[in-house]
Structure 1
Amino acid sequence: MFKTLVFHEIRPKEEIDLGMRPVIVKNGYVDQLPLPLFNSVSSFEKEMTYLVESGYHFLTLAEVKAFFYEKKSLPEKSVLITFDDCFQSMKTYAYPIIKKLEIPVTVFVATGWIFEETSEYSGKVSKALSFKELDEMSDYFTYANHTHDYHERRGIEASKLMWEDKENVVQDLEKCNEWVKEKDVFAYPFGLYDAENVSLLKDNGFTLAFTTKQGVTTRETNPLEIERTVIPFTMTLDEFKELMTY
């Protein structure tokens, strides 16, 4: 069994205290990232350091696939670290910590959000990175499918993945796969999906897909509905340690 953790924005506490900010992405999608999806730089470093010093095994996607499809066992304390959306703070604040601690990370990329040109970091917006910047972090970050232009939502109940025709969804997934390395691994945008989405992924060769439902992944878990736990900036280190006791 293992747990999967998901992060979005890693920011200094003083930036988080400024509240929600606009999302700025290449395809022009308009939204704001909810504050529970932010984590502070200090908390993130303490959490990752705790995992390293406590002997946790950091999983790769190859190991997760082998767990499900080859019935291979995993080390007792296994964890998969993931990021969604590729905001500037991932490079500015998270990547240096990941590199220092030598942690493999899976990143889900909505390729339609990613810019061609690099721009200066801004604490006032949640702006996506450039493809060049993502390439520069590929020593520790492995990139997987998060749709191309389908990272959109209607409130908190539906994502574009759920209301578009199947043919259009498949074309969008294929577009994202033109860039990402892991072409059979997916994360549901906003964690919003339905049974038809799960079937579509299976029919199109996807082997792993990640939700935002909290829990522990076991052999009984559907590999196209793997649990992921969001780690917010309000979580104390003691609470994090308790979460990771399973």
Structure 2
Amino acid sequence: MKKELLINLLFTFVFFFSFTMLITFFADDVTEALQYNDLFPKDENFELASCQQWTRDVRSFPLKDYEKAKSVPVLMYHRIIDEKDLDENLYEEDGSIVSTVVLKENFTEQMKLLKREEYTTLTLRELELFINGKLDVPKNSIVLTFDDGFKDNAYEAYPVLKENDFTAASFVITGSITKNEKDYKPGTFQYLSVHDLKNSCDVFEFESHTYNFHQRMKDGTPFLIGKTDKDAEADIRASIVNLDGSKQAFASPYGGFDDGNIQLFKDLGFNMAFTVVPGDVSRGTNIYEIPRKEIKPETTIEEYKQIIGLQ
């Protein structure tokens, strides 16, 4: 009896000790996973209103008729990563880089080209007015957009944009924004923090990419289409709260939307909405189906010139 008791006590001690060691060893990973899965509160905002005031200002461009743009390319990026920081999870099975990643070296070259060719980056408000025929913009005008709100945008893209005096729109999944700042780990899967937003809000104008609807149904249908209108409305309303009430623009995850969604965008007060359908933007473009041209890892500088209309 005593022998069995001793064995049980010994087993309990060994189990407890082993479990404690495992928890200690994986503590950082467990904590990081918990933080990663925590959504930003639906009823809180990022407090960006003051530093986003510049996005509401509209410039006046004194132009002669031949200097006015007839169309404006809108480019879409996701992630900007230095080649030396590429992690194995950023490669496809065939060895190619995943389509949402653009190498920082290529992005830098692209921005230098825009600067050299004297391109003007428009704000979303200026693009809206151009579409509606209320603002003339220079021939070499362009709109840069980033989807999802990855942390590398603040650490890799932001300095390059700022150096070239460019601005860009960032469509963030607001629920994925982290309240607690974490060290940037290049090449890994990290979203922006509130700290990142505030440190880059002089270059990026932040708008909605939903609160937590960047997901698909079991059959592959984007949440925005597959979920009920009531659920979609609740999700987008939460993102508006997070963004201090900003409703300048919306970008649908995966580019998935239907007529009901468009009506919802209008009802919620969004001024414009973007798709992932390629094409240029001109006077009279459907303000709730604005096309964008995606820049991919394999996009060469010559192809880039064609995309922006230089060739």
Fold match (TM-score > 0.5): yes
Tell me, yes or no, if the aligned pair for 1:157 and 1:192 is still in contact at 8 Å. Answer: no
Mapped to 1, the partners of 2:98 and 2:219 lie a distance apart of 15
Q: How has the CA–CA distance of structure 1 residues 144 and 116 changed in structure 2, closer, same or farther, with 3 Å as cutoff?
A: same
Q: Give yes or no for the alignment of 1:9 onto 2:72.
A: no
Say how many residue pairs are matched. Answer: 234
11-20 or 100-109, which deviates more = 11-20
Give, in whole Å, the separation in 1 of the partners of 2:218 and 2:206.
27
TM normalised by structure 1 equals 0.88
1:226: which partner in 2?
290
Work out the CA distance in 2 between the residues paired with 1:235 and 1:16: 17
Letter of the 2:121 partner, please give it.
F
Structure 2 residue 201 is matched with structure 1 residue 131: no
- Amino acid corresponding to residue 232 of structure 1 in structure 2: K
Q: Could you report, residue by residue, the CA deviation over 1:197-243 in whole angstroms, capped at 9, with x for unpaired residues? A: 11211222111101111110112321101111111111111111121
Instruction: Tell me what 2:226 maps to.
Output: 163
The alignment partner of 2:247 has SS state of strand
The separation in 2 between residues aligned to 1:239 and 1:81, in whole angstroms, is 17
Output the CA distance in 2 between the equivalents of 1:38 and 1:135.
Answer: 24
The letter for the 2-side match of 1:153 is R
1:68: how far off? 2.8
| TM alignment of 1:178-217, pairs within 5 A | 178-180=241-243, 182-217=246-281
Q: The residue matched to 2:281 in structure 1 has which SS?
A: coil
User: What's the CA shift for 1:16?
Assistant: 3.7
Larger mean CA deviation between 142-151 and 162-171 belongs to 162-171
Partner of 1:86: 149
Identity %: 29
Would you tell me which structure has more helix in proportion to its own residues?
2
Q: TM-score, normalised by structure 2?
A: 0.71
- The alignment partner of 1:45 has SS state of helix
**1:146 counterpart = 2:209:** yes
Q: Which residue of 1 aligns with 2:299?
A: 235
- Answer whether contact 1:110 1:148 (CA < 8 A) is retained: yes
Letter of the 2:266 counterpart: K
Decide which structure has greater strand share: 1
Greater shift after overlay, 35-44 or 200-209?
200-209
User: Given that residues 2 and 216 in structure 1 are in contact (C-alpha distance below 8 angstroms), is that contact kept between their aligned partners in structure 2?
Assistant: yes
Match of 2:137 among 74, 81, 90: 74
Tell me how far apart the structure 1 counterparts of residues 243 and 108 of structure 2 sit (CA, whole Å).
27
Q: Secondary structure at the match of 1:178?
A: helix
User: Tell me, what secondary structure is at the counterpart of 1:197?
Assistant: helix
Counterparts in 2 of 1:2-81, with a 5 A limit? Answer: 2-16=72-86, 18-20=88-90, 35-81=98-144
Q: Is 1:122 paired with 2:192? A: no
Q: Hey, what's the Cα distance between the residues in 1 that align with 2:300 and 2:86?
A: 16
Please tell me the residue identity of whatever aligns with 1:204.
Answer: L
Work out the CA distance in 2 between the residues paired with 1:58 and 1:126.
Answer: 28
